[in-house]
Amino acid sequence: MKKEELIISTALKLFVENGFHGTATSRIASESGVANGTLFNYFATKEILIVSIYNSIMKKMDDFIIEGIASNSVSKNAFKSLFVASLRWNLENPAAFQYMQQFNNSPFAKSAISKTLKQEEHPLYVLIKNGIDLVVLKPMPAALVFSLFNAQINGLYYYLLNNTIESERTDELTEDTFEMLWKMIQD
């Protein structure tokens, strides 16, 4: 692993465990196996490191979601594949997920403009917009449906996180929860 990536992954783990200010840059460096000064060769300040990790996660997430697109047609299946892809990413990357939560609710969030997909460009947003235009979905503000869709994913995610469920049952619940969501948003 390249040093830069190594620092990012160590920092991600430590930030989630101890918080941003609770994690000393010296600790990140030593646990990454690099010298103190090396960290600052890659990231001029701690804040830049924190925002870089955010952008790095965002990119991976967006790539994963985009891969998960089953079709460009406005079909129930298209929504379902995005629902499942989003949920799976959260389940498979809980540390990254929590990093995002921590970051988004921190004062650093405002420093993170751009570099990441704007809401109106997000595949799910586009799909929802088309769905509403084509009267497949209820006539509501697309941004609201987008927000509710993501909220539903989070709701299911937190349930699965706090209750130990076998993976077979997880799939079943994912199915059921998506059906509920679909019943809710379809026209």
Partner DNA sequence: ATTCTAACTGACTAATCAGTCGTAAAAATA
Partner DNA sequence: TATTTTTACGACTGATTAGTCAGTTAGAAT
Are the beta carbons of 57 and 94 closer than 8 angstroms? no
Q: Distance (Å, rounded) from C-alpha 26 to C-alpha 134?
A: 55
Q: Which tokens is 10 given?
A: 């160590």
Binding flag, residue 24, DNA (CB under 7 A): yes
Chosen residue from 55, 71, 72, 101 binding a second copy by CB under 8 A: 101
Q: Which of residues 4-23 bind a second copy (CB under 8 A)?
A: 17-22
Residue 41 partner contact from DNA, a second copy, none using kind-dependent CB cut-offs of 5 to 8 Å: DNA
Q: Which tokens is 20 given?
A: 């941003």
Based on CB atoms, which residue is closest to DNA, 79 or 103?
Answer: 103
In angstroms, the first-to-last Cα distance of the chain is 49
Interacting span for DNA (CB under 7 A) from 17-25, 80-88, 91-99, 170-178: 17-25
Residue 146: half-sphere exposure toward Cβ, Cα within 13 Å: 16
Binding flag, residue 118, DNA (CB under 7 A): no
Chosen residue from 35, 92, 140, 175 binding a second copy by CB under 8 A: 140
Tell the burial category of 118 from Cβ atoms under 10 Å away from its Cβ (0-12, 13-18, 19+): exposed
Binding flag, residue 25, DNA (CB under 7 A): yes
Size of the site for a second copy (CB under 8 A): 38
Are the beta carbons of 4 and 42 closer than 8 angstroms? yes
CA distances from 28 to 34, 40, 93, 144 (A): 9, 11, 20, 39
Instruction: List residues binding DNA (CB under 7 A).
Output: 3, 21, 23-27, 34-38, 40-42, 44-47
Q: Which residues of this protein are in contact with a second copy, per CB under 8 A?
A: 17-22, 98, 101-102, 105-107, 138, 140-141, 143-144, 147-152, 154-156, 158-159, 162-163, 173, 176-177, 180-181, 183-185
